[in-house]
Amino acid sequence: MKNMKRNYNFNPGPAALPLEVLEEAQQQFVAYGGGGMSIMEMSHRSPAVERMVAETEELFKRLIGLPDSYRILFMGGGASMQFGLIPMNFLKEGQTAHYILSGSFSDKAYSEARAVGNAVVAASSKEAKWRLLPDTANLSIGEDAAYVHITTNNTIEGSQFGYIPDTNGVPLIGDMTSDIMSRKLDFSRFAMFYAGAQKNLGPAGVTVAAIHESLLAACSDRIPTIMKYSTYADNDSLYNTPPVHSLYMTKLVLEWTERLGGVAAMERLSQEKAALLYGVIDASDGFYQGVIEQPYRSSMNVTWRMKDEALERQLIAAAEDLGIEGLAGHRSVGGLRASIYNAVSLEACEALADLMTDFQRTRG
């Protein structure tokens, strides 16, 4: 494996995983912890799996800097399932859910809430075609507000909130799927935040939800048991069979993150990688055109366009010839995108920057 040439992976999710994590998992694949079987074969009621889940929760809380007043839940269904579970659990009759719309996924979360109960838009940049972020300085939040929902980073469009908005005491819930573990934030400002693992935390199959005990106590008791956050908390995420191997891989990624210096180190690296790629775009005299206005650019998902789609396809083909994968923009918007999550190396970004510079010199 050490001598195997691996491609540079800029896919948006499932995304790059650290090589040393993959190698460690490979070593334990057949017989986990000397237990005579793979962790995928072990009962989720076994002491080994229970211990692994508990250690993963504590490791996540330590890296993020969360106090004991938060519970970490490991769930399935991805962030898309959370879009429905959140209003089912927390949007009571006579209350209103408030949504900050900044991209396609926040719009989907809002649509799911409307299917459950009363939901309104607190702020939106949809009319600007998501090229900027909405103004949240004076959010319109009614007295009947159950919660405010925000998507902190927009994977498809390539924008990111650089701050946590003030919700005037109303519980704030954050979808952090594509920028969790990439920067230091005051997470105590959130009553809940959640993330699909397949960007910065591990492989697809696991969703991490962090919920303050005060919000956890407000879970509805009029929905099916499997849909209640309190069920997951009361059973330490083991009410039913979880995606055990994906959860184990998440633990390995968290350990890798800690070895490299934790969230602070990831933030420094993210800034360096993003500055490198945006630098090429901005210095290209319009050959490459950034999609998002500069103050709102993401440090996780770099998006850009070229003068025509034919040229964009040529760049993608040239990249694939060099073992650089995942540059095609989301099917709903087209263009180009480089997802530079924590496991994407600076070396990979340098290779992409060199390609873009050479491509402009020969095709510009």
Q: Is residue 12 part of a domain?
A: no
- Asked if 276 and 315 sit in the same domain, the reply is yes
- Asked if 113 and 30 sit in the same domain, the reply is yes
How confident is the model over 123-143, as pLDDT tens digits?
A: 999 999 999 999 999 898 989
How confident is the model over 270-326, as pLDDT tens digits?
A: 999 999 999 999 999 999 999 999 999 999 999 999 999 999 999 999 999 999 999
State the SS3 of 155-223: CCCCEECCCCCCCCCCCEEEECCCCCCCCCCCHHHCCEEEEECCCCCCCCCCEEEEEEHHHHCCCCCCC
Tell me how far the alpha carbon of residue 49 is from its chain's centroid.
25
**Between 358 and 3, the higher pLDDT residue:** 358
| pLDDT for the residue 2 | 52
- Asked if 279 and 134 sit in the same domain, the reply is no
How confident is the model over 71-113, as pLDDT tens digits?
A: 999 999 999 999 999 999 999 999 999 999 999 999 999 999 9
Q: Is residue 14 part of a domain?
A: no
**Is 60 strand, coil or helix?**
helix
Helix (H) or strand (E) holding 56: helix 47-64
Q: Which of 81, 101, 79 is nearest to 159 (CA)?
A: 101
| pLDDT for the residue 333 | 95
Residue 206 pLDDT class (50, 70, 90 cuts): very high
Q: Can you name the residues that pair with 153 across neighbouring β-strands? A: 160
Is the Cα torsion angle 150, 108, 178, 162 positive or negative in sign? negative
- Asked if 268 and 242 sit in the same domain, the reply is no
Alpha-carbon span 135 to 112, nearest angstrom? 23
Alpha-carbon span 245 to 268, nearest angstrom? 30
Task: Tell which of 205, 232, 259 closes a domain.
Answer: 259
| pLDDT for the residue 100 | 98
Q: What average pLDDT does range 202-215 have in this prediction? A: 97
- Asked if 235 and 284 sit in the same domain, the reply is no
> What CATH number does the domain containing 281 carry?
3.90.1150.10
> Residue 178: which domain range?
22-259
What are 13's two structure tokens?
Answer: 């999710």
Residue 238, C-beta contacts closer than 8 angstroms, at least 6 positions apart: 44, 45, 49, 50, 53
- Asked if 294 and 217 sit in the same domain, the reply is no
Whether the pLDDT of residue 1 is over 50: the answer is no
Residue 267 pLDDT class (50, 70, 90 cuts): very high
Residue 123 zone, left/alpha/beta (φ > 0; ψ -120 to 50; rest): beta
- Asked if 151 and 210 sit in the same domain, the reply is yes
Task: Look at the block and give the residue holding tokens 């696991």.
Answer: 206
How confident is the model over 228-244, as pLDDT tens digits?
A: 999 999 999 999 999 99
Let me know: does 17 contact 253? Beta carbons within 8 Å.
yes
Q: Is residue 286 part of a domain?
A: yes
Residue 55 pLDDT class (50, 70, 90 cuts): very high
How confident is the model over 154-185, as pLDDT tens digits?
A: 999 999 999 999 999 999 999 999 999 999 99
- Asked if 226 and 298 sit in the same domain, the reply is no
Looking at the structure of the chain, the number of domains it has is: 2
